A = this chain, B = another copy of it.
Amino acid sequence: MSSTFGNYLRVTTFGESHGTSVGAVLDGFPANIRLTEDDIQTQLNRRRPGQSGITTPRSEADTVKILSGVDNGLTLGTPIAFAVNNKDQRPGDYSPSAAIPRPSHADYAYTMKYGISASSGGGRASARETVGRVAAGAAAEIFLRERFGVDIIAFVSSVGSITAPVIDDFGGLTRGIVDKNPVRCPDEKSAAEMERLIKDIKSEGDSTGGVITCVCRDVPAGWGEPVFGKLEALLAQAMMSIPAARGFEIGSGFAAASMRGSEHNDLFIAKNGGIGTKTNRSGGIQGGISNGETIYFRVAFKPTATIGREQETADYQGNMATLKPAGRHDPCVVPRAVPVVESMAALVLGDMALSQARLIAPQ
């Protein structure tokens, strides 16, 4: 298992869905930054189940505790440990359905890899693992905002076949706008349709996929470490490590494949006292390095594998069986995945900020 991400700002997450705690240790975080449990709690609350009628009704308070690294409200430069106790601890609660690997879940693959899997719940493969990412990412965001003015906002851009109109200018976008509706889509009309779709699908005992767009504004030029730590490569790794992620594209993305160079190239113009690009098909990254333009990317998520319908599937011995519907899961993961995407983006950018080292110059 590889539970650490980042080379300079390094997060290590821990915890299974039904174990004692989930959390993270964030090492390499700069000293002398104001950080409180409340700062972290805000993002955790956006990730928490039970926020609205379109998310799972499971109630998880998810109260974060900072175990180390902060003294009198200031970071010490030492590792910051976050822990959130699981309300739903069921060690030893062997489920009878453990004999049937759940389709498109991780049960089978984990069992093949480790020869064992968590006795109840999804264990480490559960979306609950993202609690640690969000806690650490929330801290990384504070560092990025305070030292560089970087601003990260993700939102839902499609649910099922409903796709919100493309936003050309991300200038006015805020988290407040995103959170105005439970779907977290800033286009109100699309949001209403998406919400209706999710409710319909839920009532049918089914689930749907969706797409999240993420925008990172005011990232200084120069971040990213070619060739294997290119900014888009690290963002891709970070996003594709989120449960249920199936695709990633930066800037023009897959659409670039059918474009001509003469239309795709971002020409330079004078800008802000220096130069910048007239268009931004590169999505703010060229040669693997931020170029000072807005970074934006999209992440595709598959439909939740847990559905409220019976499934005809084989048990571990190859005998066909009927898997009973399991209750209480999100019919669509993307609304709650929004803060997870933001957190992973913050961890990537925080890592690259430290790598480029502009702001940890002598104080």
B15 pairs with A12, CB closer than 8 A:
no
Q: A113-B289, A260-B207 are in contact. Are A66 and B20 (CB under 8 A)?
A: yes
A106 pairs with B286, CB closer than 8 A:
yes
Find the B residue at minimum CB distance from A19: B68
| A48 proximal to B (CB < 8 A) | no
Complex CA distance for A311 and B30, rounded to whole angstroms:
33
Among A23, A158, A224, A228, chain B packs the most CB atoms within 10 A around the CB of: A228
Number of identical monomers bound together in the oligomeric complex:
4
Can you list 22 pairs linking A and B with CB atoms under 8 Å apart?
A: A1-B225, A2-B7, A3-B27, A3-B78, A3-B227, A14-B67, A16-B69, A25-B25, A112-B221, A158-B258, A207-B260, A208-B258, A210-B257, A228-B237, A246-B252, A246-B253, A246-B256, A246-B257, A247-B256, A249-B254, A354-B359, A357-B359
| A117 proximal to B (CB < 8 A) | yes
Find the B residue at minimum CB distance from A304: B261
Can you list, as one digit per residue, whether each of A212-237 has a CB less than 8 Å from chain B (1) or not (0)? 00000000011111111110111111
B222 pairs with A356, CB closer than 8 A:
no
A7 pairs with B7, CB closer than 8 A:
yes
Q: Give the residues in chain B near A15, CB-CB below 8 Å.
A: 67-68, 79, 81
